[in-house]
């Protein structure tokens, strides 16, 4: 029975990461929330990092042609803008490290989910009002700075990385499909960098509440669900509205705040 319960937890965590990383709902915020509900106290950090690595594989599969094109022809504007945006993210991560570390406790989680709802509302405004003529190769220098800064802010659990970066791209006049592509390609160095930085703590803390086979199953669930989430997100940004996700993150944020200050359910 204990093994079955662990497997259920691992599958749920994998699905939460795979869907949350690419849908505009914040995977880090949902993972933190689910770990609290499940009472996970040890090994959560290792699980989070490895689940991010699994979703990285999903990005590489979906965008394999674009990645190969960059490798074959690295000297292009798209490559430079991805580097610039990544560097801006790193600067923000270092400058506000204490804030981000404090946020890992979940004390700002409800506010951050509400922040995601506001970001997605801004995306809807941009989709309706701002002409989109730019591609990743025709951005101005300050566009990747804006997008990278928004990715840096999304280090806060509850703030959607994909939602923030896609919104930034839309405000910069980038075409919808190109905005999704730039956001997901930008996630590659962000995920890799985050995983490398966590290695010392991972070695020290180990697997905690999880077994290795449970972690592998969670990674499989994250990778598969992440693949389909990317495909869905591409269709969503080009043809659909973020309205459902705006309502969801707003309601979730309010519920988390109610639980934090009134209900104390978990």
The per-residue pLDDT for range 194-227, each reduced to its tens digit, is 777 666 666 666 656 677 888 899 999 999 999 9
Structure tokens at 94: 């270092």
Stated length of the chain = 266
Which segments in the chain show pLDDT lower than 70?
Answer: 41-45, 197-209
Q: How far apart are CA 156 and CA 161, in angstroms?
A: 9
State the pTM of this model. Answer: 0.91
Distance of CA 140 to the CA centre of its chain: 25
Distance CA 81, CA 102 (A): 30
pLDDT (0 to 100) of residue 154:
96
pLDDT in tens, 31-56: 889 988 888 765 556 777 788 889 99
Maximum Cα interatomic distance, the chain, rounded to a whole number of Å: 57
Residue 174 is classified by DSSP as B
Whether 161 contacts 151, CB under 8 Å: yes
């Amino acid at each position: 029975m204990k093994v079955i319960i662990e497997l259920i937890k691992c599958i749920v965590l994998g699905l939460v990461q795979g869907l949350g990383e690419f849908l505009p709902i914040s995977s880090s915020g949902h993972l933190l929330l689910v770990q609290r509900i499940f009472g996970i106290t040890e090994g959560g950090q290792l699980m989070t990092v490895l689940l991010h690595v699994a979703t990285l594989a999903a990005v590489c599969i979906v965008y394999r042609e674009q990645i190969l094109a960059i490798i074959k022809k690295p000297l292009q504007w798209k490559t430079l803008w991805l580097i610039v945006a990544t560097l801006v993210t790193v600067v923000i991560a270092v400058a506000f490290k204490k804030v981000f570390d404090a946020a890992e406790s979940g004390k700002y989680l409800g506010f951050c989910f509400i922040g995601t709802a506001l970001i997605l509302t801004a995306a809807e405004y941009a989709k309706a009002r701002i002409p989109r003529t730019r591609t990743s190769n025709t951005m101005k220098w300050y566009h990747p700075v804006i997008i990278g800064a928004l990715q840096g802010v999304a280090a806060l659990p509850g703030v959607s990385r994909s939602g923030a970066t896609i919104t930034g791209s839309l405000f910069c006049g980038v075409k919808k499909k190109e905005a999704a592509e730039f956001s997901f390609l930008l996630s590659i160095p962000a995920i890799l960098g985050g995983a490398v930085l966590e290695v010392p703590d991972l070695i020290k803390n180990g697997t905690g509440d999880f077994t290795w086979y449970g972690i592998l199953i969670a990674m499989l669930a994250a990778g598969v669900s992440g693949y389909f989430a990317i495909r869905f997100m591409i269709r969503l940004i080009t043809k659909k509205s973020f309205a459902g996700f705006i309502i969801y993150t707003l309601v979730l944020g309010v519920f988390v705040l109610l639980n934090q200050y009134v209900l104390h359910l978990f």
